[in-house]
Amino acid sequence: MTNALDTFVLRLPEDLHLRLRRAAEMNRRSLNSEIVARMERALTSMSAGELDDGSKFALIRKVIVLENTLEQIKMNAASD
DSSP code per residue over the chain:
---PPP-------HHHHHHHHHHHHHTTS-HHHHHHHHHHHHHHHHHHTT--HHHHHHHHHHHHHHHHHHHHHHHHHHH-
Please give the pLDDT value at position 40: 87
Q: How many Å from the N-terminal Cα to the C-terminal Cα in the chain?
A: 55
Lowest mean pLDDT among 5-9, 22-26, 44-48, 76-80: 44-48
Instruction: Give the residue extent of every domain in the chain.
Output: 1-49, 51-80
The yes-or-no verdict on residue 1 having pLDDT over 50 is no
Taking only the tens place, the pLDDT of each residue in 30-71 is 999 999 998 888 778 666 566 677 777 888 888 888 888 888
For 1-49, which CATH class? mainly alpha
pTM: 0.52
Give the whole-angstrom CA distance, residue 2 versus residue 19: 32
Give the Cα separation of 41 and 39 in Å (integer).
5
